[in-house]
Amino acid sequence: MEHYLKTDEWRIIESGFHPEFAECSEAIFSIGNGRMGQRANFEEGYGGQSLQGSYVAGVYYPDKTRVGWWKNGYPEYFAKVLNSVNWIGLDIEIEGERLDLNAAEVLQFERELDMKRGVLSRQFQLRFPSGKEIEVSAVRFVSMRRDEVGAIRYGMRALNFTGQARIIPFLDFDVVNQDSNYDEKFWEEVERRTGSQKAAILARTKKLDFQLASAMRYEWWTGDKIQTLYPETIERDKYVANSFEVTLEEGQDNCLYKYASVCSSMNHAPSALLDTADERASEARRAGFDVLLQEHTDHWAAQWEMSDIRIKGDASAQQGIRFNIFQLHQTYTGEDERLNIGPKGFTGEKYGGSTYWDTEAYCLPFYLSTAPQKVAKNLLVYRYDQLGKAIENAAKLGFENGAALYPMVTMNGEECHNEWEITFEEIHRNGAIAFAIYDYIRHTLDASYLFEGGLEVLTGIARFWFQRFHYSQRKRAFVMHGVTGPNEYENNINNNWYTNYIAAWCMRYTADCFDRCKQEDAKRTEALSSRLDWSKEEGMQWRDRADRVYLPQDQEHGVFEQHEGFMDKELVPAERLDPDERPINQHWSWDRILRSCFIKQADVLQGVYLFSEEFDRETHERNFDFYEPFTVHESSLSPCVHAILAARLGKMDKAYELYLRTARLDLDDYNKEVAEGLHITSMAGTWMSVVQGFGGMHWVGSDLHLDPALPDQWTALEFHLRFRGALLRVQVEPTRTEVLHLSGEAVELKLYGTKLKLSEGSAEQIERP
Ligand code: BGC
């Protein structure tokens, strides 16, 4: 994509109107508050290319599965994130001409996403076909403090005329989903109410009966005077509005304030929904725009205190990382353990807004280090709450004894992905879910979570792996056939090194956890074991199987073999690919991709990264040098893992190149698909590549280590880290690093190998060796 956004450390700026990138901008300038969010659609509507999108967390539609050839075990539905009520809507007509940037001459245009304050604004001047010119200045946000409320300030000024304007603020459930298997509309109206300067509407989804109520209040100001209005009401199926006429005096400032609420039956009794939504909108209006804005920006200020990253000397990298942190915090706040992080967050429909292994493998480390402990914990609780469904899912495929297979894609614990090579085969996801528990405990030392659900999840997963291996007489080892590794450009392979490795690890770790729990509380462990029908013998069988798992290696190159047969491929580096044929998934047949050696995303290297402390430097280096050249990074989850490994190996140029690719993936649209939505989950990977890559954060057992090293392009790096009840600030300069303890518990960590003991207010500085 042509670089049309300005570089700025705190803001994303579109200067001048770029209708050719309209849908890209809608995604990039999206705003949300963890409960709801939306693309940066224009309030006044837009006749050009646009994907209208307002989303409410957790609200989905089980769209009937569509496949060419049904296979037993396929899920009945694919969950779709629902485009829901358009609450920003505001139709404006001036003397018979509709305000639409697509139907007028745009004289000036500036759009800005202020990431520091979480505010989207737009300022433009346009000339209608009649020659009338107006100026608009629109500001909106979805409140972080009142997560069911959004507010808009829409200023208008007639520049060269005095005339009548008709203003129609509305709420509209008559919306479409681009991602719908049978072109259905998913909402049905339940009830609507209209009144003077207010309206409310309640709708339900087909099938699952999620109910959403939305309400609005608004005011019209001329200069600094609020105007009394006598609006007409407009109602039709799924739509409520008010309509009123005002005079726009040449040069006079006018302003519409719209306060809207969106309340869901996930949080309120359906019978109380309309009243609650109405009350929320009314409270918002009483508070007023400025108060709401202040509360909201205060929240963001506190959020940035905990999670900001400063990069000196590289504005483009700085903007990239802040954009990623901003989007992650506005997608998931950890307030509600029923919610999770869809790969597109509130910015698009693709991937159905559902939960993937991305959450555990990528997002968890981010929230562990940048938010209160309960935020990451709620991500674990989410999976615990879905354990029953994971056990059912495994049973459906023929597994027994409480074996659990978590879905590749889910909304409520049920699998909803229906490509056999993913649904049945991409089972490494189970490993990431177990690893997340390990990661949480080593980061927080909160091992009590094992008793609160962690051990049950681990047991289900260990039982699955135990049964999924079979014994090969020829190899005299336990092997796993018919899987897809993280590299989805290979399916139905045998002995994917990563999957076998993480599966063996899970069995061992779960057995270790039983031992640990027994030491901590023998009685409770006994009760839990008996409830799970678990015995010491089962633990021994897990360990024995784990020790006899087959892990393919290639002696010639001294590397782990991605899967059996990989070395027989025609091994051609990706740099020889014709740039016009990249990404290959948009240019090549699937058959050609499957036969090629090109790797979609970190696979062996995903394992080397996760289990880093188990491998020496040479092993890291040989595997990195071997696999990186074949990796096409066509999943946004890929470059960050490679960037971390490159940084740890001191390959700083490579690390920097890969880092930029992840940090600015969406801002620069590397994968040519940002219009469909942002890559929210891989944004956490970007954070990892800064903190775990250049910041050198890694673990040896439960000891946190920092070994920072900057790329040449950066003169300094500063990041925050929440760790075991402490908030730390790490300031990295080319030759030394300082760690400051800002608040909270006393903690220990190792900086460049030297043990530091830090308590509130203390700071330690060490020269880079
Ligand atoms: C990746 C998966 C990932 C999914 C959702 C796919 O392209 O290959 O690893 O879980 O996207 O982000």
For residue 2, name the pLDDT band (cuts at 50, 70, 90): low
Token digits of residue 408 = 């590749």
> Best mutation site among 635, 670, 681, 682 for ligand 1, i.e. most ligand atoms within 8 A of its Cβ?
635
Q: Does ligand 1 have an atom closer than 6 angstroms to the CB of 488?
A: yes
Which of 105-109, 578-582, 670-674 is least confident?
Answer: 670-674
**Gap between the Cα atoms of 536 and 515, Å rounded:** 9
- Residues whose CB is less than 8 angstroms from the CB of residue 20 and which lie 6 or more positions away in sequence, other chains included: none
Which run of H or E residues covers position 707?
Answer: none
**Ligand 1 geometric centre to CA of 344 (Å):** 11
Q: What is the pLDDT of residues 495-514, one digit of tens each?
A: 999 999 999 999 999 999 99
The CA angle 563-566-572, to the nearest 5 degrees, is 145
| Residue 570 Cα distances to 144, 554, 596, 630, 633, angstroms | 52, 15, 7, 11, 19
What per-residue string of b and e applies to 400-424 under the rule 16 or more CB within 10 Å gives b? ebbbbbbbbbbbbbbbbbbbbbbbb
Average pLDDT, integer, range 266-291: 98
- CA-nearest residue for atom 12, ligand 1, is 343
Which of 353-357, 447-451, 488-492, 615-619 is least confident?
Answer: 353-357
Strand ranges of the sheet holding 736-744, from the earlier edge strand across to the other edge: 309-312, 716-723, 726-732, 736-744, 763-767
Looking from the CA of residue 679, the nearest atom of ligand 1 is 12
Looking from the CA of residue 351, the nearest atom of ligand 1 is 5
Q: What is the pLDDT of residues 84-129, one digit of tens each?
A: 999 999 999 999 999 999 999 999 999 999 999 999 999 999 999 9
**How many of the other CB atoms lie within 10 Å of CB of 228?**
8
Phi, psi of 633 (to 5 degrees): 50, 45
Known active-site residue 135: no
pLDDT recorded at residue 180: 85
**Gap between the Cα atoms of 364 and 346, Å rounded:** 18
Q: What is the pLDDT of residues 24-55, one digit of tens each?
A: 999 999 999 999 999 999 999 899 999 999 99
Q: What percent of the chain has pLDDT over 70?
A: 100
Which run of H or E residues covers position 611?
Answer: none
Residue 1 confidence (pLDDT) above 60: no
**Ligand 1 geometric centre to CA of 69 (Å):** 23
Which run of H or E residues covers position 695?
Answer: none
Residue 724 confidence (pLDDT) above 90: yes
Q: What is the pLDDT of residues 201-258, one digit of tens each?
A: 999 999 999 999 999 999 999 999 999 999 999 999 999 999 999 999 999 999 999 9
For residue 69, name the pLDDT band (cuts at 50, 70, 90): confident
Looking from the CA of residue 429, the nearest atom of ligand 1 is 10
Q: Does ligand 1 have an atom closer than 6 angstroms to the CB of 637?
A: yes
pLDDT recorded at residue 183: 85
In single-letter form, the type of residue at position 177 comes to N
**Gap between the Cα atoms of 43 and 91, Å rounded:** 8
**Ligand 1 geometric centre to CA of 671 (Å):** 13
- CA-nearest residue for atom 8, ligand 1, is 635
**Ligand 1 geometric centre to CA of 357 (Å):** 8
Q: Give me the catalytic one of 488, 538, 561, 628.
A: 488
Q: Does ligand 1 have an atom closer than 6 angstroms to the CB of 354?
A: no
Looking from the CA of residue 681, the nearest atom of ligand 1 is 12
Q: What percent of the chain has pLDDT over 90?
A: 93
Average pLDDT, integer, range 550-566: 98
For residue 80, name the pLDDT band (cuts at 50, 70, 90): confident
- Secondary structure of residue 234 in the 3-state scheme: strand
Residue 181 confidence (pLDDT) above 90: no
**Gap between the Cα atoms of 199 and 192, Å rounded:** 8
pLDDT recorded at residue 65: 86
- Residues whose CB is less than 8 angstroms from the CB of residue 600 and which lie 6 or more positions away in sequence, other chains included: 486, 487, 488, 489, 585, 631, 632, 633, 634, 635, 638
* Average pLDDT of the chain, as a whole number: 96
- CA-nearest residue for atom 9, ligand 1, is 486
Looking from the CA of residue 356, the nearest atom of ligand 1 is 10
Q: Which residue, among 395, 311, 351, has the nearest Cα to 712 in the 3D structure? A: 311
For residue 671, name the pLDDT band (cuts at 50, 70, 90): confident
Give the up-direction half-sphere exposure of residue 325: CA atoms within 13 A in the CB hemisphere.
Answer: 32
- Residues whose CB is less than 8 angstroms from the CB of residue 59 and which lie 6 or more positions away in sequence, other chains included: 81, 82, 84, 205, 210, 212, 264, 266
Q: What is the pLDDT of residues 390-419, one digit of tens each?
A: 999 999 999 999 999 999 999 999 999 889
- CA-nearest residue for atom 11, ligand 1, is 635
- Residues whose CB is less than 8 angstroms from the CB of residue 588 and which lie 6 or more positions away in sequence, other chains included: 581, 596
**Residue 734: strand pairing partners:** none
- Residues whose CB is less than 8 angstroms from the CB of residue 525 and which lie 6 or more positions away in sequence, other chains included: 514, 517, 518
pTM comes to: 0.96
Q: Which residue, among 572, 674, 559, 679, has the nearest Cα to 632 in the 3D structure? A: 572
> Best mutation site among 637, 662, 682, 686 for ligand 1, i.e. most ligand atoms within 8 A of its Cβ?
637
